[in-house]
A and B are shown apart, each in its own frame.
Chain A
Amino acid sequence: MTRALLWILDHPVASCAVVLVVTLLLGAQIPRLRVDESAEGLMVQHDPARRFYEDAKARFGNDNLTVVLVKADDVFTPEVLGVVKRLTDGMAALPDATRVESLTTVKNIKSDGDALDTDPLVESVPRGAAEAARIRADALSNRVLVGNLVARDGRATAITVYADPRAGDVGFNHRFVGQVEALIAREQRPGLTIFQVGAPYTKATYADYVTADQWTVVPLSIVVLLITLLLSFRMLQGVVIPIVTAVVSIVWGLGLMVVFGLPLTILTGILPALLLAIGFTEDVHMISEYHHRLELGDDKLTALRTMLRESALPILITTGTTVVGFGSLVTTDITMLVQFGWASSLGLTANFVVTMALLPPMLRWWRVPRRFRHAVLTDESEHGAIPGFMQRLGEFNLRYRVPILVVTGLLTAGSLVGWYTLRVNTDLISFFPERSPIRTRIEDLHRSLAGGLGFYVVVDSARADGAKDPTFLTLVAGLQDHLAATGLIDRSVSVADYVRTMNREMHGGDPAFETIPESSDQIAQYLLVLEGKELAKFLDFNASAANIVVRHNLTGSGDLSALLRRVDAWAAAHAPANITVRATGETVLFNNASDYMAINELTSFVWTFLIIGVIHALLFMSIKAGVLSLIPNVVPILFNYGLMGLLGIPLNTGNALIATIAIGIAVDDTVHHMVTYNRQLNLHHDQKLAMFQTMRAQGRPIIYVSLALAAGFMALVFSSFVPTVQFGWLAAIVMLLAMAAELMLTPILMYSTRLVTVWDLVKARMQPAVVRAAPLLQGLSLWEARKVVLLGRLDAVAAGEFVVRKGERGTEMYMVVSGRVRVSDRLADGTEKVLAQLEPGAVFGEMALVSQEPRSAWVVAETPAEVLRLDLEAFERIRRRFPFTGAKLFRNLARVLALRLRHTTTMLIEGQPLAVVPGPGEQS
């Protein structure tokens, strides 16, 4: 990875050329990007409920409903009925329309003297007032019509159109709405209000709002973000490079979507914004690091090389976690989420490649910014507001460690209370502004007639002609009465209504006969007469099942779920075992899907979390570190959903993504923070120092990124689309909180916890067998050895550096952890006499523990080495607290001393030094 980055730095032209070629190739694909505005992809794919819905559609026809409402002082005038007739005929002729119902089509079952009339109410436009009055009287006494196609007060009537969009017909909604709108436009006149509502209109409007955002607030948000960035860096480099890599990444991302056949949907539509937000985070981190190096006095190429070497690991980790986090969406069962998962994974990977390929060449070609050109700063804290601020913030953190943790704890506890009240409820209609046409129309339709939303309740006897059984139809009628009694629905129509009306009219219109006949033969004979296209919506082909068509105005998924539960409960209590009752329909499926989706999005975020935790645990070789690294990210998101719960904002498909996106960004900061901290810790072995160094190095990019994103998200509140506004507020809050957590909580947690222990490092350097066999640790259990090691400190020494100087006084002994050291003395003539070469596991300087005499020899590192330093105090502490371990330790120490004595004796006698004192690994 590092090598690849350095290669790119050395071959800037080649790298840029490759990017250019790929960009042109992928860019050429973009015009072929498919736009999918249908909502089919929102449904759960392998949901058994979906199969049931498909089956219900095959049996009873599509439920894709459009209602055209015609309002007038009196709809029963020749003029208005003429309008209704023309609209009905016009819509019946639309290629996608499968069924049109209005006063001019629906069977008006009515007896007139001894004659029975089953013709539509308005076959032709009435010629005079008398005929219009007759139509009015008929319509208002027809239970199938009133409240369904005509208002009780006669001031509104509806034309309902069922459409059957072909699968994959992505432009259906806009086309169909446009065609209906054109028909309406021809009939608009004073005194008449005509408008359409329904599934195609809602979906098309939804798509319009999303598109409008794409062209207005999203660009605004990007501009705000760039301005914030420009103000932060105060140099062009910091803005131009991120924007170039972002734009190229977006071209790649969209091109790859074409290559992999992914359509542009309401979800994949946010990909450009996502790539911009997450993509530029890396750039800022890398550019900051580069500037940091320049500040430290490096020349351009050195600064770039160091920056690339330092950045390679964190960037690989952040890209990996983000790609996996979004990629986890492909395991869900919702097509649109799967597509989004693929598109975002591809796009983020592309962004990684583009950033890596373009950023080093661009920085290389760009002149070093003036600020860094001359001044070589001795102390970077002197320069710039942020390092100074970070220093003060670090001190503040240390001083108010406990209050900060307490406040965090309280916030978290409060958030959990909020979580408890958080509801899952996707209310598509509430996404539109209060006074938008779609909301006024829906409200108007609901008030003047019946809600524009609907679902089916399929009552199935599972045997041919089972629906002709009087008990069956009585059950259907009973369920309808129950639904009406809940007050939650506007209207329901079923075959039972037709049979009841037919029975009444076959008995001269006597209301006493508006009942289900007692004989199934009679029902069969009525149905024979009524049978046809109109009845097919309510009764299946072999009369085994009835379909109750319910109209309502429950726009929220939560409210609808409550109603559906009541249907289930009623069915459980009243339906015999051989009859099943089940609600279905597009709205029902979306309802399930939206809840499922919100939950899935949260799940993907949990996955991202786990992966990040694991990576950090591996990085620090400590599970504790993994867990700790998550806290600063969990807290803001917990707070976000807690706040939503407290404010009564329900969890929906839109805002559930906040977590995933916010985490994608916040985690980048955490990874950079942790990696830097880890490096600093290995360098200084001082958590406090490491904390300050990390804050100074990482403070700038974290603040820049968080402020820019928060400002960018904040710009979204100027949208007219409610979910965008909510998203803007919540995401901005999350970004700021994440920044606060990153700058205050992470350092405290790092500092307060012995995160990376000496033991971890020792274990990482030496094989456990070597540790156990080390002379000092012999006979100690791993647990005991760990206690001893933890009391020491790990020192890194460069090759040629002295660890012990002869004549110095010291109170410490050492154990070699890595590398090799040489024990030597100088003879009188000044030549060096090597006494011993020590390898990992070997100890030296132990004499100091026994007597406080000056050191008797020189110890110098032959290779870069790490040594564990233990002082007398540590041994004392062990002896006091763990006498058994202490006893073993002192015995080992005595053995080491005895051994040394023997070596010395041998050496004196033979006058020869032992060439090498082998490490314990070789002894065993």
Chain B
Amino acid sequence: MIAIALLAVLALAAPARAADPTAAEIMKQQRETHRVKDEEERQALKLVSKAGATKERKLVRYLLSGAGDLDKILVRFTAPRDVENTGLLTWEGKDGNDDQWLYLPTVKKPKRIAASGKKNRFMGTDFAYEDLRPENVAANTYAMVGTEAIDGVACFVIDATPATQRQASDSGYSRRRVWVRKDTLVTVKREYYNKAAKLEKVETHRKLVNVAGPVWRADEIEMHDVQNGTRTLITVESRAVNRGLKDDFFTETELIR
């Protein structure tokens, strides 16, 4: 529905390419469509080794949307027992200058993390920090590759490359290819190409749910590191959006609570 509306708008704005919105426009529209004020997710993380061994972790993830696409994120582990209450608080900053605090219950005092490592992997998973945050439309350039059906649903296939020098050095990728459903503008698949232009990881979104209005989320996200043969599976156990989380929840005080 949104897509139709979007297409209608685009048709009026740029009649020349009526049926062909630019990739950048789609990505921007996607970001706007699925944005929420705040979000709380209980996740189960399943890590699968190359040999097929698994281990599980659970966490709660809180997110607060801020101005200028800058979010605040609080992650708190709930299982296994030995890492319970380990927390990580992130304040996204301009030009990638994030602030990050780590709290280890056994050390008691939170530690600020000198954050520059968006490309680092998140706590032993196959996700890098940058994979877990919403698409930063301003920092990338997009190119339409074509359309392709995934599970019988038509998708735009779009290539994303770092737009700025800064983004290029902050990101671990030379290019990402994104599959966006034409109907709901939800991302269903991503391919990540490393600096040597080799395919490094494939991300698949499943169990898409309509959360509120036009907002869709995936309840299952799988990241497959094709280089290492490892996988991480995120299963969302519960979710709440727009509950009215406040800024003061995303603080050091809350982190050590």
A525 at the interface (CB under 8 A from B): yes
Contact B113 A528 (CB under 8 A): no
A922 at the interface (CB under 8 A from B): no
CB within 8 Å of A: which of B40-97? 47, 49-51, 53, 55, 77, 80, 82-83, 86
* With contact pairs A525-B104, A525-B106 given, residues A465 and B82 touching in the complex (Cβ less than 8 Å): yes
| Alpha-carbon distance A33/B50, docked complex (angstroms) | 35
Specify the chain A residue showing the minimal Cβ separation from B105.
A525
**Which residues does chain B contribute within 8 Å of A117, judged by CB atoms?**
113-114
Contact A541 B55 (CB under 8 A): yes
**Which residues does chain A contribute within 8 Å of B104, judged by CB atoms?**
506, 522, 525-526, 529
A211 at the interface (CB under 8 A from B): no
Contact B82 A529 (CB under 8 A): no
A111 at the interface (CB under 8 A from B): yes
| Alpha-carbon distance A452/B39, docked complex (angstroms) | 52
B169 at the interface (CB under 8 A from A): yes
Identify the stretch in A253-261, A419-427, A513-521, A756-764 within 8 Å (CB) of chain B at 4 or more residues: A513-521
B13 at the interface (CB under 8 A from A): no
A381 at the interface (CB under 8 A from B): no
**Which residues does chain B contribute within 8 Å of A531, judged by CB atoms?**
123-124
CB contact between A525 and one of B82, B113, B116, B228 (< 8 Å): that residue: B82
A778 at the interface (CB under 8 A from B): no
| Distance of B103 from chain A, by nearest CB (Å) | 9
CB contact between A116 and one of B111, B120, B124 (< 8 Å): that residue: B111
* With contact pairs A58-B50, A517-B106, A526-B104 given, residues A116 and B114 touching in the complex (Cβ less than 8 Å): yes
Contact A525 B121 (CB under 8 A): no
Contact B123 A529 (CB under 8 A): yes
| Distance of A541 from chain B, by nearest CB (Å) | 4
**Which residues does chain A contribute within 8 Å of B114, judged by CB atoms?**
112, 115-117, 119
**Which residues does chain B contribute within 8 Å of A522, judged by CB atoms?**
104, 106-107
Mask of B108-147 contacts with A, CB within 8 angstroms, 1/0: 0001111011001101100000000000000000000000
B196 at the interface (CB under 8 A from A): yes
A836 at the interface (CB under 8 A from B): no
**Which residues does chain A contribute within 8 Å of B256, judged by CB atoms?**
none
**Which residues does chain A contribute within 8 Å of B106, judged by CB atoms?**
517, 519, 521-522, 525
| Distance of A409 from chain B, by nearest CB (Å) | 62
**Which residues does chain B contribute within 8 Å of A524, judged by CB atoms?**
80, 82-83
Contact A528 B77 (CB under 8 A): yes
Specify the chain A residue showing the minimal Cβ separation from B124.
A531
Contact A525 B195 (CB under 8 A): no
Contact B102 A529 (CB under 8 A): yes
| Distance of A138 from chain B, by nearest CB (Å) | 12
A118 at the interface (CB under 8 A from B): yes
| Alpha-carbon distance A517/B120, docked complex (angstroms) | 26
* With contact pairs A506-B111, A533-B228, A541-B49 given, residues A89 and B195 touching in the complex (Cβ less than 8 Å): yes
Contact A532 B121 (CB under 8 A): yes
Specify the chain B residue showing the minimal Cβ separation from A58.
B51
| Alpha-carbon distance A519/B82, docked complex (angstroms) | 10
CB within 8 Å of B: which of A113-142? 114-119, 123-124
Specify the chain B residue showing the minimal Cβ separation from A117.
B114
| Alpha-carbon distance A532/B83, docked complex (angstroms) | 16
Contact B102 A533 (CB under 8 A): no
**Which residues does chain B contribute within 8 Å of A542, judged by CB atoms?**
53, 55
CB within 8 Å of B: which of A7-66? 58
| Distance of A701 from chain B, by nearest CB (Å) | 62
| Alpha-carbon distance A620/B236, docked complex (angstroms) | 87
| Alpha-carbon distance A888/B112, docked complex (angstroms) | 114
**Which residues does chain A contribute within 8 Å of B198, judged by CB atoms?**
93
A92 at the interface (CB under 8 A from B): yes
| Distance of A458 from chain B, by nearest CB (Å) | 16
Specify the chain B residue showing the minimal Cβ separation from A110.
B114
Contact A114 B50 (CB under 8 A): no
A551 at the interface (CB under 8 A from B): no
CB within 8 Å of A: which of B161-180? 169
**Which residues does chain B contribute within 8 Å of A822, judged by CB atoms?**
none
A300 at the interface (CB under 8 A from B): no
Contact B111 A525 (CB under 8 A): no
**Which residues does chain B contribute within 8 Å of A520, judged by CB atoms?**
82
Contact B82 A532 (CB under 8 A): no
A673 at the interface (CB under 8 A from B): no
Contact A528 B53 (CB under 8 A): no
Most B-side CB within 10 Å, residue of A117, A521, A526, A528: A528
CB contact between B124 and one of A111, A118, A464, A528 (< 8 Å): that residue: A528
Contact B113 A116 (CB under 8 A): yes
Specify the chain B residue showing the minimal Cβ separation from A97.
B196
| Alpha-carbon distance A525/B84, docked complex (angstroms) | 9
| Distance of A502 from chain B, by nearest CB (Å) | 10
Specify the chain B residue showing the minimal Cβ separation from A544.
B53
Specify the chain B residue showing the minimal Cβ separation from A526.
B104
| Alpha-carbon distance A542/B80, docked complex (angstroms) | 12
| Alpha-carbon distance A294/B195, docked complex (angstroms) | 80
A468 at the interface (CB under 8 A from B): yes
| Alpha-carbon distance A92/B55, docked complex (angstroms) | 28
| Alpha-carbon distance A921/B86, docked complex (angstroms) | 104
Contact B82 A114 (CB under 8 A): no
CB within 8 Å of B: which of A703-749? none
| Distance of B43 from chain A, by nearest CB (Å) | 15
| Alpha-carbon distance A533/B172, docked complex (angstroms) | 14
**Which residues does chain A contribute within 8 Å of B53, judged by CB atoms?**
541-542
| Distance of B174 from chain A, by nearest CB (Å) | 11
CB contact between A119 and one of B47, B102, B116, B121 (< 8 Å): that residue: B116
**Which residues does chain B contribute within 8 Å of A541, judged by CB atoms?**
47, 49, 51, 53, 55
Contact A93 B195 (CB under 8 A): yes
| Alpha-carbon distance A464/B47, docked complex (angstroms) | 14
**Which residues does chain A contribute within 8 Å of B123, judged by CB atoms?**
528-529, 531
CB contact between B113 and one of A118, A464, A465, A507 (< 8 Å): that residue: A118
Contact A525 B83 (CB under 8 A): yes
| Distance of A539 from chain B, by nearest CB (Å) | 10
| Alpha-carbon distance A116/B112, docked complex (angstroms) | 6
| Distance of A524 from chain B, by nearest CB (Å) | 4
**Which residues does chain B contribute within 8 Å of A465, judged by CB atoms?**
82
| Alpha-carbon distance A520/B82, docked complex (angstroms) | 8
Contact B169 A521 (CB under 8 A): no
CB within 8 Å of B: which of A66-122? 89, 92-93, 111-112, 114-119
Contact B124 A525 (CB under 8 A): no
| Alpha-carbon distance A93/B113, docked complex (angstroms) | 29
CB contact between B105 and one of A114, A521, A533 (< 8 Å): that residue: A521
| Distance of A704 from chain B, by nearest CB (Å) | 62
**Which residues does chain A contribute within 8 Å of B55, judged by CB atoms?**
464, 541-542
| Alpha-carbon distance A69/B198, docked complex (angstroms) | 27
Specify the chain A residue showing the minimal Cβ separation from B106.
A522
Contact A532 B120 (CB under 8 A): yes
Contact A533 B121 (CB under 8 A): yes
| Alpha-carbon distance A507/B107, docked complex (angstroms) | 8
| Distance of A156 from chain B, by nearest CB (Å) | 27
**Which residues does chain A contribute within 8 Å of B121, judged by CB atoms?**
532-533
Contact B107 A115 (CB under 8 A): no
| Distance of B229 from chain A, by nearest CB (Å) | 10
| Alpha-carbon distance A529/B123, docked complex (angstroms) | 6
| Distance of B196 from chain A, by nearest CB (Å) | 4
| Distance of A918 from chain B, by nearest CB (Å) | 85
Specify the chain A residue showing the minimal Cβ separation from B169.
A124
| Distance of A726 from chain B, by nearest CB (Å) | 44
* With contact pairs A124-B169, A542-B53 given, residues A506 and B82 touching in the complex (Cβ less than 8 Å): no
23 contacts between A and B (CB under 8 A): A58-B51, A89-B195, A93-B196, A112-B114, A114-B112, A115-B111, A115-B113, A118-B120, A119-B117, A123-B116, A464-B55, A468-B82, A506-B107, A521-B82, A521-B105, A521-B106, A522-B104, A522-B106, A524-B83, A528-B77, A528-B124, A531-B123, A542-B55
**Footprint of B on A, CB under 8 Å?**
58, 89, 92-93, 111-112, 114-119, 123-124, 464-465, 468, 506-507, 517, 519-522, 524-526, 528-529, 531-533, 541-542
* Complex A-B, nearest 7 residue pairs according to Cβ-Cβ distance, in ascending order: A531-B124, A93-B196, A522-B106, A524-B82, A117-B114, A115-B112, A541-B49
